[in-house]
Amino acid sequence: MAPSEEDGSLEEKENKKKPLSPFATAWLTFYNITMTAGWLVLAVAMIRFSYQKRTHKGLYRSIQKTLKFFQTFALLEIIHCAVGIVRTSVLVTGVQVMSRIFMVWFVIHSIRPIQNEESVVLFLVTWTVTEITRYSFYTFNLLNHLPYFIKWARYNFFIILYPIGVVGELLTIYGALPFVKKSGMYSLRLPNKYNVSFDYYTCLIIVMIAYIPLFPQLYFHMLRQRRKVLHGEVIKEKED
């Protein structure tokens, strides 16, 4: 899905009960500082490109190496959850991280005709703003010095950024469909030695349909957490 908005409030609550080890705290602080810096580099590169070129065409190619590195580096977040140093759902984090990996490697990287589409810029901008906000939030939180503006931004920016990012992702996937259908890329037809078939075109359609139940669920979850964190409302979550 668009912005990676896994909730940190549950993590904060658990951390109060069981403090992280010094090593875990040091590693997570290093990780979040690194990711904040990485997305800031991306932001500066995007602004510089737009100012110099006065066009969005070629933007993705100018930042693709940095984008691929830091988005792929985010796979560590799944490991963080799995080993317990971040107390967030492995499933939720996995879905969010892998959806980003899918967009970066199996859509934008693989389907070059769509790399200059406006929709790509749309979700890249939302990803960048979201990740700078999110990782800086985690960094300051780990340092026990969280400025209110960062907290406010974390739980307000997503209201606009999340829907815009989702629209950008969906338009990008939709724009890729004609090329995928014509080229047959990543598809496996019968007969073959594996005796299985796979149609990437259909896969992309299924991915788009999956946004229908997933987006509202994640979006309204974040709205509930926003009320809880910023306004102190007590909200009962359903058991998973």
Query: What type of residue sits at position 157?
Result: F
* Candidates 31, 135, 162, 219; catalytic one: 162
- The backbone torsions φ and ψ at residue 198, rounded to the nearest 5 degrees and listed phi first, read -150, 130
DSSP 23-47: HHHHHHHHHHHHHHHHHHHHHHHHH
Is 6 one of the annotated active-site residues of the chain?
Answer: no
Q: Cα–chain-centroid distance for residue 210?
A: 16
Tokens of 155: 């739980």
Ordered alpha helix ranges (H), 54-89? 59-73, 76-83
* Candidates 5, 6, 131, 169; catalytic one: 169
| CA angle (216, 218, 221) in 5-degree steps | 100
Is 138 one of the annotated active-site residues of the chain?
Answer: no
Cis peptide before 3 (omega within 30 of 0): no
Tokens of 83: 């080993």
Return the active site residues. Answer: 162, 169
